């Protein structure tokens, strides 16, 4: 029986103590020793396991990547079992308490907290790139009156690449940096334009005297007052919400940005792909789906029937469950604290809040949900805050895309700087027919 040492692809070396996995291929009787590094084995180490010399070699099969690490990353740490979320090692609770969205964006992109001077320069740079070319504004105006704002955002972000053609020089650190600043700066402008478009209101230009979130509120709500003064409590609530949404490691949209970016396309196109992934109801679209669900339930009395429908698999409890968190999503805990505050500022008595609170309570008391480790996620409460701020449900995913831009770009930059990066190109298990003769059109049944 031949014993072979695995050839590793790209530097997989077993840790001290010789962590390895011994695999016997029962088809051939051969035994292989594969290094275990950081709790993982390299899929390429399995390629050498062949039935004969013509065999392609063993592959791993992992639809939806549920057990596959696609990269090494030092940006965001999640312990789903314990409900822990940290950015660059700093717990999300501390960031929400002491930091601001733009400082967290700096942290994600640069890897460390800024000095005062660095922060001032970062904030200044972002504040002074909030304007968009007038033709961008005109192309947004050309959308149908009821265009979904997320569709407007994703195509307009893609269009930005045509205004900054130098962004395709992704190996140039200055171009990379400028694209990061521009995207973070312009995202609220494009988002607010899409909101005003739906209302048939004139677009409001950015006000560079205001803080990032205050400026966004001004672009949403300003009518004809000479100067919009945002309520500092709303400004802060939005800042906290955006810190909570800034990054979440290898989720669907981030994985999309990395995969698209690995083709070495410009970052505007890669981020447009991330926005498309976020659009779906199982990802960023979930907060919109939560609101629609609460609307359908209507009153607290209808909750038992609704929960029975979920158990009968006729319904899904939107805003519950997470691929990674198998415990209370720490972001949901923080958001929940801000719901009442925002309702108070806006003077809203929203019946959906009562339904949401009772629904959460009953689901957490129910073995069906607890046995499946289904707990509220970030979207269970974020939609309620946005609704209290008079933001229409169609805009909710856009509100998610604005802050996630920092995470996408930090991950995109990290991917480009990683020596192991290659174009993303998964394998498949082919299940279709082979060597079938072409049937002329007239002979088909």
Return residues touching ligand CMC (CB under 6 A): 248, 251, 282-284, 286, 310, 316-323, 372, 374, 377-379
Nearest distance from residue 355's CB to ligand CMC, in Å?
A: 16
Q: Which residues contact 430 (CB under 8 A, 6 or more apart)?
A: none
Least Cα distance to 228 among 204, 193, 246, 197 occurs for: 204
Least Cα distance to 386 among 378, 93, 359 occurs for: 378
CA distance 177 to 180: 5
CA distance 100 to 19: 42
Nearest distance from residue 283's CB to ligand CMC, in Å?
A: 4
- Of 322 and 413, nearer to ligand CMC (C-beta) is 322
CA distance 276 to 431: 28
Nearest distance from residue 379's CB to ligand CMC, in Å?
A: 5
Q: In this structure, are residues 179 and 164 in contact, taking their beta carbons and an 8 Å threshold?
A: yes
Residue 64 is classified by DSSP as G
CA distance 287 to 310: 18
Nearest distance from residue 418's CB to ligand CMC, in Å?
A: 23
Residue 342 is classified by DSSP as H
Let me know if 367 is exposed, middle or buried by CB neighbors in 10 A (0-12, 13-18, 19+).
exposed
Instruction: Work out the end-to-end distance of the chain between its first and last CA atoms, rounded to an integer number of angstroms.
Output: 54
> Does residue 377 sit in helix, strand or coil?
coil
Nearest distance from residue 381's CB to ligand CMC, in Å?
A: 11
- Of 194 and 377, nearer to ligand CMC (C-beta) is 377
Nearest distance from residue 307's CB to ligand CMC, in Å?
A: 10
What is the CA angle 147-272-72, rounded to 5? 145
Q: In this structure, are residues 369 and 320 in contact, taking their beta carbons and an 8 Å threshold?
A: yes
- Of 114 and 281, nearer to ligand CMC (C-beta) is 281
- Of 193 and 320, nearer to ligand CMC (C-beta) is 320
- Of 132 and 374, nearer to ligand CMC (C-beta) is 374
- Of 34 and 307, nearer to ligand CMC (C-beta) is 307
Least Cα distance to 402 among 292, 296, 247 occurs for: 247
Among all residues, which ones are annotated catalytic?
283, 322, 379
Query: Closest CB to ligand CMC belongs to which residue?
Result: 321
Nearest distance from residue 286's CB to ligand CMC, in Å?
A: 3
Q: In this structure, are residues 307 and 363 in contact, taking their beta carbons and an 8 Å threshold?
A: yes
Q: In this structure, are residues 409 and 184 in contact, taking their beta carbons and an 8 Å threshold?
A: yes
Nearest distance from residue 195's CB to ligand CMC, in Å?
A: 21
Residue 37 is classified by DSSP as B
Rounded alpha-carbon distances, angstroms, from residue 289 to 176, 213, 384, 395, 445: 35, 24, 11, 12, 44
- Of 268 and 369, nearer to ligand CMC (C-beta) is 369
């Amino acid at each position: 029986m031949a014993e072979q040492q695995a050839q590793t692809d790209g530097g997989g070396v077993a840790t001290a103590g010789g962590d390895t996995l011994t695999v016997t291929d029962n088809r051939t009787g051969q035994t292989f020793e594969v290094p275990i590094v950081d709790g993982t084995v390299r899929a390429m180490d399995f390629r050498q396991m062949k039935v004969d010399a013509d065999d392609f070699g063993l592959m791993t099969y992992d639809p939806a990547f549920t057990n596959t690490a696609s990269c090494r990353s030092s940006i965001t740490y999640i312990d789903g079992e314990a409900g822990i979320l940290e950015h660059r090692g700093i717990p999300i609770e501390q960031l929400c308490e002491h930091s601001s969205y733009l400082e967290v964006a700096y942290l994600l992109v640069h890897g460390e907290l800024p000095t005062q001077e660095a922060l001032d320069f970062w904030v200044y740079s972002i504040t002074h790139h909030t304007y968009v070319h007038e033709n961008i504004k005109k192309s947004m105006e050309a959308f149908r009156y009821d265009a979904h704002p997320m569709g407007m955002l994703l195509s307009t972000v893609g269009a930005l690449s045509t205004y900054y053609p130098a962004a395709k020089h992704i190996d140039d650190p200055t171009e990379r940096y400028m694209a990061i600043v521009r995207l973070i700066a312009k995202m609220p402008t494009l988002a607010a334009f899409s909101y005003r478009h739906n209302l048939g209101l004139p677009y409001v230009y950015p006000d560079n005297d205001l803080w990032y979130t205050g400026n966004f509120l001004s672009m949403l709500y300003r009518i004809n007052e000479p100067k919009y003064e945002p309520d500092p409590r709303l400004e802060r609530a939005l800042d906290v919400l955006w810190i909570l949404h800034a990054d979440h490691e290898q989720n669907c949209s981030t994985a999309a940005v990395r995969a698209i970016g690995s083709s070495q396309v410009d970052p505007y196109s890669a981020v447009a792909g991330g926005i498309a992934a976020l659009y779906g109801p199982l990802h960023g679209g979930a907060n919109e789906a939560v609101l629609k669900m609460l609307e359908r339930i209507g009153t607290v009395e209808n909750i038992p029937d609704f929960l029975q429908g979920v158990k009968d698999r006729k319904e899904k409890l939107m805003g519950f469950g997470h691929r990674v968190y198998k415990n209370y999503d720490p972001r949901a805990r923080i958001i929940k604290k801000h719901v009442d505050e925002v309702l108070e500022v806006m003077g809203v008595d929203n019946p959906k809040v009562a339904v949401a609170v009772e629904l959460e309570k009953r689901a957490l008391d129910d073995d069906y949900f607890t046995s499946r480790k289904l707990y509220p996620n970030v979207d269970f409460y974020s939609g309620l805050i946005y609704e209290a701020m008079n933001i229409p449900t169609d805009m909710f995913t856009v509100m998610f895309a604005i802050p996630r831009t920092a995470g996408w770009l930090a991950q995109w930059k990290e991917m480009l700087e990683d020596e192991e990066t290659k174009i993303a190109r998964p394998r498949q298990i082919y299940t279709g027919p082979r060597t079938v003769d072409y049937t002329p059109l007239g002979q088909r049944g």
